[in-house]
Amino acid sequence: MSGAEAVMRRDFAARERHAPDEAQVAALTGLAARVRELTEAVVHTDVDPAEADAVAAEIAALTARLTAARREHPPVAALGADGRLRHLANPVSGELNPIAPPVLLEIVPDGGGVRAEFTLSDVYEGPPSFVHGGVSALILDQLLGAAAAVNGTPGMTATLELRYRRPTPHGVPLTAEAKVSRVDGRKTYVDAAITGPDGKATVQATAMFVMPQG
Ligand SMILES: CCCCCCCCCCCC(=O)SCCNC(=O)CCNC(=O)[C@H](O)C(C)(C)COP(=O)(O)OP(=O)(O)OC[C@H]1O[C@@H](n2cnc3c(N)ncnc32)[C@H](O)[C@@H]1OP(=O)(O)O
């Protein structure tokens, strides 16, 4: 077993022992949604400095309340009522993680890979009016990895090649899809794309996932 795999196994076991129950997941999902709204409000606000200072003090007090009962690790995953694994704290699809848009993945039946429909706010802006290229890469890495996992051949991202065909707009519905193209021993090759509302691909990606030795 590699060093990285041992660390992941130990971490996963510790987090499973402290998995949140459904009532807590529901409440924390609502809390994360409010924090996303707060992030948008901060990015857009035009309040004067005194008001910004006052709000910052209130937020510090709220942070202290949450920190009063702090988990050692973020919750890694939970089994949903539908039997699917939910990556609760994942930075792309984690409903409990305020930095995740979140992009919620669906499994496409009959080996069709995974897909997601989502809208990114201007919190994720890179060039004016368009999504940051690194954010697109983050979302695609998640979809590509999930497609490999759903195929029964999970792995770590070993290579990720991106082709930015046209700018990805924010504030409009986007679709992303990923599907395994080939498996060769421990290597799984996956293709993915983000598509804009006009049905044209904005970013295309190809990745290779390697199942760690052991
Ligand atoms: C619903 C569920 C949702 C589940 C959804 C989950 C989604 C998660 C999505 C996020 C995924 C991530 O971001 S993962 C995080 C980012 N990635 C990483 O941190 C990976 C860091 N790298 C590593 O840990 C390691 O290098 C590995 C695991 C990739 C490979 O290590 P290894 O297992 O020791 O591999 P090794 O024996 O050397 O090589 C095996 C074969 O692969 C090739 N190979 C290995 N690495 C590379 C490479 N980077 N580029 C090219 N080729 C490579 C070797 O040449 C060899 O080919 P041959 O000689 O056999 O032909």
Model confidence at 83: pLDDT above 60 = no
**Residue 65: inside a domain, yes or no?**
no
| Three-point CA angle 152, 187, 112, nearest 5° | 45
Arithmetic mean of pLDDT, 43-64: 98
More confident residue, 1 or 177: 177
Q: Look up residue 38 and give its two tokens.
A: 């707060």
The DSSP call for residue 46 is -
Q: What are phi and psi of 124, to 5 degrees?
A: -100, 20
The ipTM of this complex is 0.95
Which residue's CA lies nearest to atom 32 of ligand 1? 212
Q: How many domains does the chain have?
A: 1
Q: Which atom of ligand 1 is nearest to the CA of 146?
A: 5
Q: Quote the percentage of the chain above a pLDDT of 90.
A: 80
* In-domain check, residue 33: no
Q: What pLDDT, on the 0 to 100 scale, is given for residue 191?
A: 98
Of 13-22, 79-88, 141-150, which range is least confident? Answer: 79-88
Q: Residue 156 domain-assigned?
A: yes
At residue 78 the predicted structure's pLDDT band, cuts being 50, 70 and 90, is low
CA of 208 to the centre of ligand 1 (A): 7
Look at residue 73 and tell me if it is in a domain: no
Question: Which protein residue has the closest C-alpha to ligand 1 atom 10?
Answer: 142
- Residues 39-64 have a mean pLDDT of 98
Confirm whether 56 is domain-assigned. no
Distances, alpha carbon 214 to alpha carbons 26, 70, 89, 99, 159, in Å? 37, 33, 26, 33, 20
CATH number at residue 117: 3.10.129.10
Q: 12 lies in a domain?
A: no
Query: Which helix or strand (DSSP H or E) is residue 161 part of?
Result: strand 156-164
The answer to whether residue 153 is domain-embedded is yes
Q: What does the pLDDT read at residue 57?
A: 98
Rounded to an integer, what distance in angstroms lies between the CA atom of residue 144 and that of residue 206? 8
Domain span including residue 196:
103-210
Note the pLDDT of residue 87. 85
Whether residue 115 lies inside any domain: the answer is yes
- 157 vs 166: CA distance, rounded Å: 24
Closest CA to 99 of 111, 84, 89, 114: 89
pLDDT digit string, tens, across residues 149-186: 999 999 999 999 999 999 999 999 999 999 999 999 99
Find the residues whose C-beta lies inside 6 A of ligand 1. 4, 85, 141-142, 145-146, 149-150, 156-159, 186-187, 210, 212-213
The residue count of the chain comes to 214
Residue 213: per-residue pLDDT: 85
In this predicted structure, the answer to whether residue 6 has a pLDDT above a threshold of 80 is no
Query: Which amino acid, 212?
Result: P
Distance between CA atoms of 135 and 170, rounded to whole angstroms?
Answer: 11
Which helix or strand (DSSP H or E) is residue 207 part of?
strand 201-210
